[in-house]
């Protein structure tokens, strides 16, 4: 790997150039073909559009290969590119999107994105062209002023998910709705040690629309190691030492599919199911970080005891 032969600053510079050029090149092509698809809705244009999107995914994979010393992808279960999956994951960094898109065994990763991202050049416009849903959180005060806002996310999600029927797809939802930070964790009074509180709505709506077409749920955990606490900055400075992705392939039971918006009993049961998954994920992260800390203590002890 080039990382072994280049200084950190040069590795980081190369990674930054690759990621920037990758977004500009493929983001522009995806946008152009997305607009063309609106004018001429032919299948061939849709296939070209997805080909350009796969080019962006491959560029991300190359950038990660350049910038990280070790990338571990552990998959428990069978995954193939001709299937449909719902992937749920913790959210540590903006880099999560790059990492998940770069896993080549996953069919066409499509993300649930914050509404604000639609205005970001190349990224937001490319996501729009691919038909990805933009989630706009509405507060209770906003709903009180304008009741028409209720249910807009539901319809957006359902419309996007219907469009995904035509191509094998991995629909990716960062269940926490935002990136994890200690400040957000404290503000939420989150009951989890390494996670924010999960938001179940987006998952439920995707399952309601595509539940029978999904082949499995991909329960995913992402972990990073580096010389500093800022994950993206570590990558850009050539100081990211590990990207670890654990994917557990799980069956989607009939109990997980229902009318989340109108059926209160189903909504309560579904939220409880997501909370159980989140408790298991939190325990997994706890075990990992405890083992890492124990290993660090053991290494320090050996150094102290060394003659």
Indicate whether 120 belongs to any domain: yes
Asked if 52 and 33 count as a contact pair (C-beta separation under 8 A), the reply is: yes
Indicate whether 304 belongs to any domain: no
CATH of the domain at 175: 3.40.1130
Indicate whether 201 belongs to any domain: yes
Asked if 64 and 243 count as a contact pair (C-beta separation under 8 A), the reply is: yes
Q: What percent of the chain is helix, strand and coil (3-state, nearest 5)?
A: 55, 15, 30
> How high is the pLDDT of residue 298?
43
Q: How many domains, in total, are found in the chain? A: 1
Three-state SS for 286? Answer: helix
Q: Could you tell me the residue range of the domain that residue 164 belongs to? A: 71-293
pLDDT greater than 60 at residue 304: no
Candidates 170, 72, 177; CA nearest to 116 is: 177
Q: What is the pLDDT of residues 45-60, one digit of tens each?
A: 888 988 999 999 999 9
Indicate whether 275 belongs to any domain: yes
Three-state SS for 246? Answer: strand
pTM of the model as a whole = 0.85
Indicate whether 239 belongs to any domain: yes
> How high is the pLDDT of residue 149?
54
106-123 as b/e, with b when 16 or more CB fall inside 10 Å? bbbbbbbbbeebeeeebb
Main-chain dihedrals φ then ψ at residue 296, nearest 5 degrees: -65, -45
Q: What is the pLDDT of residues 140-182, one digit of tens each?
A: 565 566 665 555 666 666 676 777 777 888 999 999 989 999 9
Indicate whether 84 belongs to any domain: yes
Higher pLDDT, 58 or 226: 58
Indicate whether 56 belongs to any domain: no
Higher pLDDT, 155 or 246: 246
Indicate whether 298 belongs to any domain: no
The span from the CA of 4 to the CA of 67, in Å, is 10
Chain mean position to CA 3 = 26
Asked if 86 and 214 count as a contact pair (C-beta separation under 8 A), the reply is: yes
């Amino acid at each position: 790997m080039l990382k072994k032969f280049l200084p950190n600053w040069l590795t980081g510079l190369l990674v930054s150039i690759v990621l920037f050029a990758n977004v500009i090149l493929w983001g522009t092509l995806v946008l152009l073909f997305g607009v063309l698809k609106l004018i001429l809705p032919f299948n061939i244009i849709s296939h070209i559009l997805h080909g350009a999107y796969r080019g962006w995914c491959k560029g991300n994979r190359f950038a990660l290969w350049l910038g990280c010393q070790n990338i571990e992808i552990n998959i428990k279960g069978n995954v193939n590119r001709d299937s449909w999956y719902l992937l749920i994951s913790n959210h540590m960094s903006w880099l999560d999107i790059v990492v998940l898109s770069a896993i080549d065994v996953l069919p066409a990763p499509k993300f649930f994105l914050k509404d604000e991202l639609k205005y970001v050049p190349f990224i937001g416009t490319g996501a729009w062209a691919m038909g990805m849903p933009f989630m706009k959180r509405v507060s209770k005060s906003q709903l009180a002023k304008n009741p028409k806002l209720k249910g807009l996310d539901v319809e957006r999600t359902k419309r996007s998910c219907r469009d995904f029927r035509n191509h094998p797809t991995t629909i990716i939802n960062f269940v926490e709705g935002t990136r994890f930070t200690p400040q957000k964790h404290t503000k939420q009074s989150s009951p989890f040690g390494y996670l924010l509180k999960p938001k179940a709505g987006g998952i439920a709506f995707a399952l309601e629309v595509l539940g029978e077409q999904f082949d499995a749920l991909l329960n995913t955990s992402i972990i990073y190691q580096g010389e500093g606490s800022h994950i993206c900055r570590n990558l850009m400075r050539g100081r990211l030492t590990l990207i670890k992705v654990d994917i557990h392939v799980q069956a989607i039971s009939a109990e997980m599919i229902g009318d989340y918006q109108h059926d209160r009993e189903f909504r309560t049961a579904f939220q409880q199911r997501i909370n159980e998954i989140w408790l298991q994920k939190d325990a997994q992260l706890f075990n990992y970080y405890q083992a890492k800390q124990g290993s660090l203590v053991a290494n320090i002890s050996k150094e102290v005891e060394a003659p």
